[in-house]
Amino acid sequence: MSMAKDMQLVLRLPTRTLFDGRAIRLTAVAGNGEFGILPNHVDFVTALIPSVLTLTTPEGRERLFGIDEGLLVKKGHVVDVAVRRGVEGEDLDTLQDTVRETFIEIEEDERIARAALSRLEADMVRRFASLRKSQR
């Protein structure tokens, strides 16, 4: 593998790509603690926990992302990160507020969807039970 000055980083959510670009440094948190990756880091895979993912662009700009649990795969000069939920923030204070608002909103939407699914399942069970009674 050749020595590289930067790496390609893709941060994916289930419905869209949150970041796709070059980075010279990345820090994230796995179950066993925080770690950093530079462009020529050894290849590896790790599970991420809810935390802050920080990257530095080749121009020196630091970008912060609040992420939920996910998976990071480093192969060659490409880092792929897939997380359930994620948002970008300008600084740690606003990122914390953004994460709280966004993740709470998503959790509420998920709760509503689960409740609707439960109602549909209960209705199906009632209909099957009534069909069974009418066959007797």
The residue among 64 and 104 whose pLDDT is bigger is 64
Q: pLDDT tens digits, residue range 66-119?
A: 888 899 999 999 999 999 888 888 776 676 666 666 666 666 666 667 777 888
The per-residue pLDDT for 91 is: 76
User: What pairs with residue 71 in β-bridges?
Assistant: 47, 82
Distance CA 127, CA 66 (A): 44
Distance CA 38, CA 108 (A): 37
Q: pLDDT tens digits, residue range 37-60?
A: 999 999 999 999 888 899 999 999
The per-residue pLDDT for 121 is: 84
Q: Which CATH architecture does the domain made up of 7-135 adopt? A: Sandwich (2.60)
